[in-house]
Amino acid sequence: MSDHIEHYKTGMATYGQGDYATAIASFEKALEIKPDWTEAMHGLALALMHDQKLDRAIEVGHAIAEIDKEDPFAHTSLSMFYQRKSQIAEKAGLEKQAKELIQLAEDQGSKARLLSWKIELRTNPDAVPPGPAGSMDVIE
Protein backbone atom coordinates (compact mmCIF):
# COMPACT_ATOMS: atom_id res chain seq x y z
CA MET A 1 0.00 0.00 0.00
CA SER A 2 1.26 3.51 -0.81
CA ASP A 3 2.62 5.76 1.90
CA HIS A 4 0.00 8.45 1.24
CA ILE A 5 -2.76 5.94 1.96
CA GLU A 6 -1.08 4.85 5.20
CA HIS A 7 -0.82 8.48 6.34
CA TYR A 8 -4.46 9.03 5.36
CA LYS A 9 -5.58 5.96 7.35
CA THR A 10 -3.62 7.16 10.37
CA GLY A 11 -5.24 10.57 9.97
CA MET A 12 -8.70 9.04 9.86
CA ALA A 13 -8.05 6.79 12.85
CA THR A 14 -6.63 9.58 15.02
CA TYR A 15 -9.39 11.96 13.92
CA GLY A 16 -11.92 9.38 15.08
CA GLN A 17 -10.13 9.23 18.44
CA GLY A 18 -10.27 13.01 18.81
CA ASP A 19 -6.50 13.41 18.44
CA TYR A 20 -6.76 16.26 15.97
CA ALA A 21 -3.11 17.35 16.13
CA THR A 22 -1.93 13.90 15.06
CA ALA A 23 -4.68 13.69 12.44
CA ILE A 24 -3.59 17.04 11.00
CA ALA A 25 0.04 15.92 10.83
CA SER A 26 -0.95 12.63 9.17
CA PHE A 27 -3.18 14.28 6.55
CA GLU A 28 -0.42 16.80 5.83
CA LYS A 29 2.06 13.94 5.27
CA ALA A 30 -0.39 12.30 2.85
CA LEU A 31 -0.74 15.61 1.03
CA GLU A 32 3.03 16.05 0.78
CA ILE A 33 3.03 12.86 -1.30
CA LYS A 34 -0.22 13.51 -3.19
CA PRO A 35 -0.91 17.29 -2.97
CA ASP A 36 -4.26 17.49 -4.79
CA TRP A 37 -5.91 14.51 -3.07
CA THR A 38 -9.20 16.01 -2.03
CA GLU A 39 -10.17 13.16 0.31
CA ALA A 40 -7.11 13.88 2.45
CA MET A 41 -7.80 17.60 2.15
CA HIS A 42 -11.34 17.07 3.49
CA GLY A 43 -9.93 15.13 6.44
CA LEU A 44 -7.37 17.85 7.08
CA ALA A 45 -9.98 20.62 6.92
CA LEU A 46 -12.30 18.89 9.38
CA ALA A 47 -9.45 18.10 11.78
CA LEU A 48 -8.38 21.75 11.58
CA MET A 49 -11.94 22.85 12.37
CA HIS A 50 -12.11 20.62 15.44
CA ASP A 51 -8.67 21.87 16.51
CA GLN A 52 -10.05 25.45 16.35
CA LYS A 53 -7.83 26.40 13.39
CA LEU A 54 -10.70 27.85 11.41
CA ASP A 55 -8.75 30.21 9.14
CA ARG A 56 -6.59 27.34 7.93
CA ALA A 57 -9.67 25.07 7.57
CA ILE A 58 -11.25 27.76 5.39
CA GLU A 59 -8.11 27.96 3.24
CA VAL A 60 -8.15 24.20 2.72
CA GLY A 61 -11.89 24.24 1.99
CA HIS A 62 -11.41 26.86 -0.72
CA ALA A 63 -8.50 24.85 -2.17
CA ILE A 64 -10.75 21.78 -2.42
CA ALA A 65 -13.47 23.83 -4.14
CA GLU A 66 -10.89 25.12 -6.62
CA ILE A 67 -9.58 21.62 -7.41
CA ASP A 68 -13.02 20.00 -7.69
CA LYS A 69 -15.53 22.61 -8.74
CA GLU A 70 -18.42 20.13 -8.40
CA ASP A 71 -17.73 18.98 -4.84
CA PRO A 72 -20.75 19.97 -2.72
CA PHE A 73 -19.05 18.77 0.48
CA ALA A 74 -16.34 21.43 0.03
CA HIS A 75 -19.01 24.12 0.22
CA THR A 76 -20.90 22.39 3.04
CA SER A 77 -17.65 22.31 5.02
CA LEU A 78 -16.92 25.96 4.24
CA SER A 79 -20.40 26.83 5.47
CA MET A 80 -19.70 25.03 8.76
CA PHE A 81 -16.30 26.73 9.13
CA TYR A 82 -17.80 30.19 8.58
CA GLN A 83 -20.65 29.40 11.01
CA ARG A 84 -18.18 28.45 13.72
CA LYS A 85 -16.10 31.53 13.04
CA SER A 86 -19.23 33.71 13.25
CA GLN A 87 -20.07 32.21 16.65
CA ILE A 88 -16.60 33.16 17.91
CA ALA A 89 -17.00 36.69 16.55
CA GLU A 90 -20.42 36.97 18.14
CA LYS A 91 -19.10 35.88 21.54
CA ALA A 92 -16.35 38.49 21.19
CA GLY A 93 -18.98 41.17 20.58
CA LEU A 94 -18.01 41.63 16.92
CA GLU A 95 -21.55 41.80 15.58
CA LYS A 96 -20.69 43.23 12.14
CA GLN A 97 -18.02 40.59 11.53
CA ALA A 98 -20.37 37.86 12.76
CA LYS A 99 -23.07 38.99 10.31
CA GLU A 100 -20.57 38.99 7.42
CA LEU A 101 -19.44 35.49 8.34
CA ILE A 102 -23.04 34.27 8.55
CA GLN A 103 -23.59 35.61 5.02
CA LEU A 104 -20.49 33.74 3.80
CA ALA A 105 -21.80 30.58 5.49
CA GLU A 106 -25.20 30.96 3.81
CA ASP A 107 -23.57 31.59 0.42
CA GLN A 108 -21.49 28.42 0.74
CA GLY A 109 -24.52 26.44 1.89
CA SER A 110 -26.42 27.63 -1.20
CA LYS A 111 -23.55 26.54 -3.44
CA ALA A 112 -23.55 23.12 -1.77
CA ARG A 113 -27.31 22.71 -2.29
CA LEU A 114 -27.08 23.76 -5.93
CA LEU A 115 -24.18 21.39 -6.67
CA SER A 116 -25.97 18.53 -4.91
CA TRP A 117 -29.08 19.20 -6.97
CA LYS A 118 -27.05 19.19 -10.20
CA ILE A 119 -25.55 15.84 -9.22
CA GLU A 120 -29.02 14.50 -8.39
CA LEU A 121 -30.38 15.70 -11.75
CA ARG A 122 -27.84 13.54 -13.58
CA THR A 123 -29.50 10.41 -12.20
CA ASN A 124 -32.99 11.75 -11.47
CA PRO A 125 -34.13 14.39 -13.98
CA ASP A 126 -37.32 14.96 -11.96
CA ALA A 127 -35.47 15.97 -8.79
CA VAL A 128 -37.01 18.79 -6.80
CA PRO A 129 -34.82 21.92 -6.62
CA PRO A 130 -33.11 22.73 -3.32
CA GLY A 131 -34.91 24.90 -0.80
CA PRO A 132 -33.85 28.37 0.30
CA ALA A 133 -30.90 29.11 2.57
CA GLY A 134 -31.49 27.71 6.03
CA SER A 135 -33.74 24.91 4.83
CA MET A 136 -31.00 22.30 5.12
CA ASP A 137 -30.02 20.91 8.50
CA VAL A 138 -26.27 20.99 9.14
CA ILE A 139 -24.90 18.11 11.15
CA GLU A 140 -21.51 18.67 12.74
User: How far from chain centre, in Å, is Cα 88?
Assistant: 18
Domain range enclosing 25: 1-53
Domain count across the chain: 2
Distance, in Å, from the CA atom of 4 to the CA atom of 94, rounded to the nearest integer, reads 41
**Within a domain: 62:** no
pLDDT tens for 97-135 read: 889 988 888 888 888 887 787 777 778 777 676 666 555
Task: Say if residue 122 is in the same domain as residue 73.
Answer: yes
pLDDT in tens, 4-34: 999 999 999 999 999 999 999 999 999 999 9
Task: Evaluate whether residue 93 is within a structural domain.
Answer: yes
81 shares its domain with 125 = yes
For residue 37, the domain's CATH number is 1.25.40.10
pTM over 0.85: no
> Mean per-residue pLDDT for 36-62?
97
Let me know if residue 98 belongs to a domain: yes
Q: How many CB atoms lie within 10 A of CB 136?
A: 16
d(CA 140, CA 71): 18
Does the residue 100 lie in any domain? yes
